[in-house]
Structure 1
Amino acid sequence: MTSIKETYDDQGFVVVPGLISPEEYPKLQKAAEAAIDRTRQGSWPYRRTVGKQFPPFTDDNPDSWGIQHLMHPELGQPASVFSDWYTSDALTSVCAELLQCSEEDLELELFNLLINPLSQSFALRWHRDDVKETAPPEEERAALDVWHNGVQWNTALYEDSCLYIVPGSHKVPRTPEQRVHSCTMDAPKNPMDMPGAVMLTLKPGETVFYNSNILHCAAYDHTVKRATLHACMGDAHYSAARGRNILQHGLSWVNEPRFREQLSPKGQRMLGKLLNLQKEIPAESIGYSLDG
């Protein structure tokens, strides 16, 4: 039987069910709805705005396709629910297996929520999270060779068919045909026009773990309810290589004592790894991974 690690290494992604217990599921749904309500009412400023694909995000549009910083203590009780699940044994054990590291080495990184816009559908262009669309093949190959020390995932609280991915593209540069579909700022009219693309459908409670430098895009239908937990975690031994991709989202709030107090002992250990990364990389040198 093929292991999840073998599938992940070969395809660049793997779907795992059952990482939310029956007791956790209604708590996460309630916490997500509270975060969505605050964001749509305008009282939660950390959001991904329709019309802007990548950070830095602005307030140019009142509609949102994502909510940032779910573990921020300003979010109140929902933040504790999200923190408890992010550091749960079920989740961290899978991350450690995929990264082939000890759970002691896991670094706390990002935890966000992907939601459906209300006013209009929206899409992200085909991209790799930390490789510019203009990168020539040799630059792409060099970036892909070092991008194996963190894992990203989407966990669907409702059925989700938004993510499109090109299996195996985490290991090789784009073909000339694939570059045609991924070298501009424009989102695709039809994501399936990309050679090799597949659409992933997650059932409620399923999680797709993926290498975030796999070639992927997303299409958000404003008529279909979406609340998908979107997060990442890394092996602290190699976090410097991932620093820009993580710290570009603005994480100064993780230094607050009340955030540390919100975490379990395991979470506090993971936080310590992130705080060390912040010390290693000056804020003024971070920049942004992508444009658009």
Structure 2
Amino acid sequence: MSPIKDTYDSQGFVIVPGLISPHDFSELQKASETVVNRTRKGSWPHRRTVGKQFPPFDNDNPDSWGVQHVMHPDLGESAVVFSNWYTSDDLTRICAELLQCGEEDLQLELFNLLINPLEHSFALRWHRDDVKENALPEQEQAALDKWHTGVQWNTALYEDSCLYVVPGSHRVVRTPAQRVHSCTLKPPSNPMDMPGAALLTLKPGDTVFYNSNILHCAAYDHKVKRATLHACIGDARYGATRGRNILQHGLSWVNEERFKKQLTTKGKRMLDRLLELSKNSSVDGISYSLEG
């Protein structure tokens, strides 16, 4: 087993620098600026709004902390830049290594952009992405035991000190003290009050790969520029296990032929696995993982 896989398994995350070539880094920064400007001007409706932590997102606040669906073909050339990075050899190689699967098993999922709000600092509460905050210990452990079917990552285009995690918490239920800080729907006033918390700082070009059921939260300073690529890839061998967590974000646009045309050959195969997941997941059965 590789050192990064060892770290990922034991800590629930691993930071890998330098996956983006200098040329691709420049292109990703340019594409990010383009879609962020569209979002801030109101011409891109798929965004994460200040005051709403989890989907479904609304338009009740003009300030944004994220851009959704950055591979959407309506974003033009920027979408192509993002989809090329998402399916790049260096990135998918790491994902396959962490998931212990072959490239032929990788499933296209979500790709969004995390940005700084302009007017209001904002924070997310302590959470696991697909475990309710009020889950009983045995329910929590059952969810953790099966959540090895995908990998999530943040790639920083500017220095990023927003993500807080509790290392190792992807494998064990919360202690009573940790439950106190994570059963509320309110963000923490100080994330470091959580027992075992650690702040992760990413330099430009660093990527943190993490198990999305690690106990984590985030704090966004509206005065500090942020553009962080936020995405996940699944392991299609596990069927519909990831259906709710992925499809709750609204991905009907991936069925469009023009989206498939913008993908690389590898990307088209990854998309086919997502379409198979969607076909095998009941639309009526899709619910939201978290509230807030």
Q: TM (normalized to structure 1)?
A: 0.99
- What code does the residue aligned with 1:50 have? V
Aligned equivalents of 1:280 and 1:112: distance in 2? 24
Aligned equivalents of 2:132 and 2:259: distance in 1? 33
- Please list every run of 5 or more consecutive structure 2 residues that lacks an aligned counterpart in the other structure: none
Task: Answer yes or no: is the 8 Å Cα contact 1:149–1:239 preserved in 2.
Answer: no
Partner residue, 2:166: 166
Partner residue, 1:140: 140
- What code does the residue aligned with 1:166 have? V
Partner residue, 1:156: 156
Sort the Cα spacing of 1:39 and 1:239 in 2 relative to 1 into closer, same or farther, 3 A. farther
Aligned equivalents of 2:242 and 2:289: distance in 1? 10
Partner residue, 1:221: 221
State the SS of the aligned residue for 1:237: helix
State the SS of the aligned residue for 1:48: strand
Aligned equivalents of 1:212 and 1:240: distance in 2? 17
Partner residue, 2:40: 40
Aligned equivalents of 1:119 and 1:209: distance in 2? 29
Partner residue, 1:242: 242
Superposed CA offset, 1:211-246 (max 9, x none): 000000000000000000000001001141111000
Partner residue, 1:65: 65
Indicate yes or no: 2:193 matched with 1:193.
yes
Superposed CA offset, 1:81-121 (max 9, x none): 00000000000000000000001110000000000000110
State the SS of the aligned residue for 2:182: coil
Residue pairs, 1:44-55, within 5 angstroms: 44-55=44-55
Task: Answer yes or no: is the 8 Å Cα contact 1:99–1:148 preserved in 2.
Answer: yes
Q: Identity of counterpart residues, as a percentage?
A: 75
> C-alpha root-mean-square deviation of aligned residues, in Å?
0.8
- What code does the residue aligned with 2:74 have? E
State the SS of the aligned residue for 2:22: coil
State the SS of the aligned residue for 1:167: coil
1:23 positional shift: 1.1
Aligned equivalents of 2:114 and 2:22: distance in 1? 22
Task: Answer yes or no: is the 8 Å Cα contact 1:177–1:195 preserved in 2.
Answer: yes
Aligned equivalents of 1:30 and 1:290: distance in 2? 33
1:133 positional shift: 0.1
1:192 positional shift: 0.1
Superposed CA offset, 1:257-277 (max 9, x none): 000000000000000000001
Partner residue, 1:271: 271
Aligned equivalents of 1:256 and 1:286: distance in 2? 21
Aligned equivalents of 1:173 and 1:239: distance in 2? 25
Aligned equivalents of 1:40 and 1:282: distance in 2? 34
1:135 positional shift: 0.1
Aligned equivalents of 1:192 and 1:79: distance in 2? 36
Aligned length: 292
Residue pairs, 1:115-130, within 5 angstroms: 115-130=115-130
1:2 positional shift: 6.3
Task: Answer yes or no: is the 8 Å Cα contact 1:152–1:210 preserved in 2.
Answer: yes
Task: Answer yes or no: is the 8 Å Cα contact 1:128–1:213 preserved in 2.
Answer: yes
Aligned equivalents of 1:275 and 1:240: distance in 2? 11
- What code does the residue aligned with 1:173 have? V
- What code does the residue aligned with 1:70 have? V
Indicate yes or no: 2:290 matched with 1:290.
yes
Task: Answer yes or no: is the 8 Å Cα contact 1:163–1:219 preserved in 2.
Answer: yes
1:149 positional shift: 1.1
TM superposition outliers: structure 1 runs of 4+ over 6 Å: none
Aligned equivalents of 2:262 and 2:236: distance in 1? 21
1:284 positional shift: 1.7
Task: Answer yes or no: is the 8 Å Cα contact 1:169–1:214 preserved in 2.
Answer: yes
State the SS of the aligned residue for 1:151: strand
**Bigger shift: residues 237-246 or 174-183:** 237-246
Aligned equivalents of 1:238 and 1:35: distance in 2? 33
Q: TM (normalized to structure 2)?
A: 0.99
Partner residue, 1:281: 281
Superposed CA offset, 1:23-69 (max 9, x none): 10110000000010000000000000000000000000000000000
- What code does the residue aligned with 1:13 have? F
State the SS of the aligned residue for 2:108: strand
